[in-house]
Chain A
Amino acid sequence: AQSVTQLGSHVSVSEGALVLLRCNYSSSVPPYLFWYVQYPNQGLQLLLKYTTGATLVKGINGFEAEFKKSETSFHLTKPSAHMSDAAEYFCAVSPPGIQGAQKLVFGQGTRLTINP
């Protein structure tokens, strides 16, 4: 069974500082990987995804993530934090291929706080 671990339930950074949110997965084959963001009282919005191809993936709002198979990781970064980045971030995986189960398996989430 697949699982996702997000290291740190809460991360706090200063405005303008680097944002690093960690995600590791457990899977027998490399899965599809996703990062979602959830603002208060809203649904989830996709930041970026990795399915195949280039391992460095760029997403919306200046975020990017790198798939590292050897480390089974998919950490999310942003060079310079903005106050509007304060939200909860979820890493998720799904099995590759059309024929696999289609559900997303989510990590527990990381709440990002930005200090002025």
Chain B
Amino acid sequence: GAGVSQSPSNKVTEKGKDVELRCDPISGHTALYWYRQSLGQGLEFLIYFQGNSAPDKSGLPSDRFSAERTGGSVSTLTIQRTQQEDSAVYLCASSLLAGGYEQYFGPGTRLTVT
């Protein structure tokens, strides 16, 4: 079956612009996660959705970052007024249920802020 998909695969943007990153989880997976992977910080948790609600937003690094999930499916991560330190690979994962269940990862979106 289809895995987690993310778009775009690569995004180059100018400092100060807004960007939207999209994640399509595996059908039927109720939990969805966003992580960020960068050279300096490794793999960091950003936000977790259970259905359409986000019980854990503790990893969002600033109020420039926001995310939403609609219909219990697709999620969008938005970064406003991008900064160079936002350059990273943004990974999305989904799992059937939260709590120790395997998280399936997408290929990621590589964001470069120039």
Give chain A's interface residues, CB within 8 Å of chain B.
32, 36, 41-46, 49, 51, 90, 92, 94, 96-109
Known contacts: A102-B33, A103-B59. The answer to whether A43 contacts B99 by CB under 8 A is no
Majority SS at the chain A contact face: loop
Instruction: Please name 20 pairs of A and B residues whose Cβ atoms are closer than 8 Å in the assembled complex, sorted by A.
Output: A32-B100, A36-B105, A41-B107, A43-B91, A45-B105, A46-B102, A49-B100, A51-B100, A96-B99, A97-B99, A98-B97, A98-B98, A100-B99, A101-B58, A102-B56, A102-B98, A103-B45, A103-B48, A108-B42, A109-B42
Report chain A residues within 8 Å CB of B45.
103-105
CB of B26 within 8 Å of the partner chain: no
**A-B contacts at CB below 8 angstroms, number:** 62
Please, how many angstroms separate the alpha-carbon atoms of A108 and B43 in the complex? 7
B102–A49 touching, CB < 8 Å: yes
CB of B83 within 8 Å of the partner chain: no
Report chain B residues within 8 Å CB of A109.
42-43
Report chain A residues within 8 Å CB of B56.
101-103
Task: Give me 7 other A-B pairs in contact (C-beta within 8 A), A102-B99, A106-B43 excluded.
Answer: A36-B105, A43-B91, A44-B105, A49-B100, A97-B100, A98-B98, A99-B99
B window 38-92: CB within 8 A of A: 42-45, 48, 50, 56, 58-59, 91
Q: Nearest CB to that of A46 among chain B residues?
A: B102
Please, how many angstroms separate the alpha-carbon atoms of A62 and B103 in the complex? 20
A43–B108 touching, CB < 8 Å: yes
